[in-house]
Amino acid sequence: MTLQGSLTHEEYCAQLLDETAEFRKIVRSADLSATVPTCPDWTLADLARHVGGAHRWVGTLVATRAFENVDRADVPEAAGPEGEDAAALDAWLAAGVEQTVAALREAGPDTKVWSWTTAHDAGFWARRMVHETAIHRADAALTAGVPFDLPAPVAADCLEEWLQIGELPMVVARFAERGRTAFGPGRTLHIHATDAPPELNAEWLLDLTGEAPTHRRTHEKAAVALRGGLTDALLVLYRRLPADSDRVEVLGEREVLDQWLEWASFG
């Protein structure tokens, strides 16, 4: 099972810096005490500490060539500054992502590093951190009431990765604790990004008719179709945008989509 991405390692590294820079803009200007609607246990300051802590954790994994997980409590400065000082959080985020990208660039994509998936290399972490940061930037943008968008190649790769992750045995096992209501005969979902350039092939068929999900890039009839802009379709699948939003269109058996969104969620 592959977790191969569509960007180069250097493109992921550069994009991680860009995504964090955009995230930091929100941190510098928004109300850090505001509750994040899509992560209601967190304030915006908590979200910033989560993102920066994840960067430093991954940077430590990669820099030390870890062959097993590293407890985040053992990662230097992973907790971040306390309180809601925007300048302190901004500086901490900037320093952390610079350290992480330096470690990723020095390692290169093929260096062996522990991960919780079937992919045990630094390349996995470069890609994962881009998407982790992008989705949490969407959380921050929603909290602050500012627009959110992603470059089309990054959004397509992020959506593809989420479907890949959903097929991993360890993730299927975790999600299966909720029951198998997402699976059954005739349960298929077509995702069609209506604004993506043709070269991205931004259409997916998610097949839920077996015991575990599978997907392929294709234009194919399904029980239910999710149509909309690429970023909006991505946000629906990550449950950052409601499927009944007027920014997307759902055609066919809506319950198939609803059950997948409930099943494939870390929340």
Quick one: pLDDT band at residue 181, thresholds 50, 70, 90?
A: confident
Of 15, 27, 266, nearest in space to 144 by CA: 27
What CA–CA distance (Å, rounded) separates 10 from 123? 10
Q: What is the mean pLDDT of the chain?
A: 95
* Among candidate residues 88, 123, 148, the one where a domain is terminated: 148
Residue 249: beta bridge partners? Answer: 227
Determine the average pLDDT of the residues in 199-219: 95
142 and 57 within one domain: yes
The per-residue pLDDT for 175 is 80
Quick one: pLDDT band at residue 266, thresholds 50, 70, 90?
A: low
Of 263, 19, 217, 265, nearest in space to 127 by CA: 19
* Among candidate residues 148, 164, 186, the one where a domain is terminated: 148
* Among candidate residues 148, 175, 202, the one where a domain is terminated: 148
The per-residue pLDDT for 179 is 72
124 and 43 within one domain: yes
69 and 160 within one domain: no
237 and 188 within one domain: yes
Determine the average pLDDT of the residues in 252-262: 95
246 and 202 within one domain: yes
What CA–CA distance (Å, rounded) separates 8 from 127? 9
What CA–CA distance (Å, rounded) separates 188 from 110? 35
141 and 56 within one domain: yes
- The CATH number linked to 60 is 1.20.120.450
Helical spans, DSSP H, in 177-242 = 230-237
Which parts of 28-162 are beta strand (E)?
Answer: 35-36, 39-43
Determine the average pLDDT of the residues in 178-182: 76
Quick one: pLDDT band at residue 256, thresholds 50, 70, 90?
A: very high
| Torsions phi, psi for 248 (to 5 deg) | -130, 165
The per-residue pLDDT for 265 is 82
pLDDT of 226 strictly over 90: yes
The per-residue pLDDT for 246 is 96
Contact 206, 188 (CB under 8 A): yes
**pLDDT per position as a tens digit, 17-67:** 999 999 999 999 999 999 999 999 999 999 999 999 999 999 999 999 999
Per the structure, the count of domains in the chain is 2
182 and 228 within one domain: yes
Determine the average pLDDT of the residues in 135-145: 98
Contacts of 247-252 with CB under 8 Å at 24 or more apart are 249/225, 250/224, 250/225, 250/226, 251/224, 251/225, 251/227, 252/222, 252/223, 252/224, 252/225
Determine the average pLDDT of the residues in 139-150: 97
The per-residue pLDDT for 4 is 84
177 and 119 within one domain: no
216 and 113 within one domain: no
Q: What is the domain extent for residue 25?
A: 9-148
The per-residue pLDDT for 24 is 98
pLDDT of 150 strictly over 90: yes
Determine the average pLDDT of the residues in 166-189: 86
